[in-house]
Amino acid sequence: MKKIALLCLLTALFCSCSVLSTTTDTSIRDSKEHPLGGYKYFHVYSDTQFRASTSTSRTENGTTTTTHSLSKNDPAEFVSGFLMKKGYIFVPETDTFPEGTMLVTCAKSGEGSWTTEATVQFMDAQTQELLMTVSEITVGNAAKAVYRCLEKAFNPKSLNPKK
């Protein structure tokens, strides 16, 4: 009986192993109509870190315990991850970038009492021509606003609502 259980367990274990599918979407990168189409490489400039803080309070047996945490996020990390997922190739900073490279900058461009605004800018590395600027306002942290900027930039319907 133990051998049968072990055999079933091993069979289930081996059957559950599979190759993960890729999630790279290169439709924008290969597009000729999109402002970011035709570019293959990217470099992200970011000299700012976004700070996010959280507080939690817990009351137990009449005693209140408050926990504070402060985290710093480099927006270049999640911008790079987003663009790599879209099929773009990261290029480290050099004196000359290869043809087909776009430069990406992002910054926190405003902050209200409950809202945060972020702006992401895309430029051609050779000509320094501005390709696109996207801004988003969100409730919460700036990382969420930058992510929404990227989603907006890579959503063809939001750029050309007539189609």
**Has residue 50 been placed in a domain?**
yes
Instruction: Give domain status of residue 90, yes or no.
Output: yes
* pLDDT score for 9: 62
Q: Which residues contact 61 (CB under 8 A, 6 or more apart)?
A: none
Does the pTM of the predicted model rise above 0.95?
Answer: no
Residue 100, in any domain of the structure: yes
pLDDT at 61: 75
The DSSP element (H or E) to which 56 belongs, if any, is strand 50-60
pLDDT at 69: 53
Q: Dihedral through CA 71, CA 74, CA 77, CA 80, nearest 10?
A: 140
Residue 6 falls within a domain, yes or no?
Answer: no
> How much is the pLDDT for 34?
75
What is residue 104's predicted lDDT score, i.e. its pLDDT?
Answer: 92
Q: Which phi-psi region, left, alpha or beta, contains residue 114 (left: φ > 0; alpha: ψ -120 to 50)?
A: alpha
- 50, burial (CB in 10 Å: exposed 0-12, middle 13-18, buried 19+): buried
Cα dist from 93 to 42, 53, 107, whole Å: 10, 31, 19
**Residue 3's pLDDT is what?**
77
Decide if 115 is inside a domain.
yes
Question: What per-residue confidence (pLDDT) applies to 20?
Answer: 46
Q: What confidence score (pLDDT) does residue 138 get?
A: 85
User: Residue 163: its pLDDT value, please?
Assistant: 44
For residue 63, tell me if it sits in a domain: yes
Q: Rounded to whole angstroms, how far apart are CA atoms 138 and 144?
A: 7
User: Low-confidence residues of the chain, pLDDT below 70?
Assistant: 5-32, 46-58, 65-73, 110-112, 156-163
CATH number for the domain spanning 49: value is 3.30.160
Domain that holds residue 41: 25-156
The verdict on residue 19 lying in a domain is no
pLDDT of residue 45: 83
Please tell me the total count of domains within the chain.
Answer: 1
What is the Cα–Cα distance from 67 to 64, expressed in whole angstroms?
Answer: 10
Instruction: Give the tens place of pLDDT for each residue, 65-90.
Output: 666 555 566 778 888 889 998 889 99
User: Is the Cβ–Cβ distance between 33 and 57 less than 8 Å?
Assistant: no
Asked if the structure places residue 36 within a domain, the reply is yes
| Phi, psi (deg, nearest 5) at residue 10 | -65, -40
What are the structure tokens assigned to 83, written together? 């663009």
Residue identified by tokens 């290169």 is 26
Calculate the alpha carbon distances from 12 to 1, 5, 18 in Å: 17, 11, 12
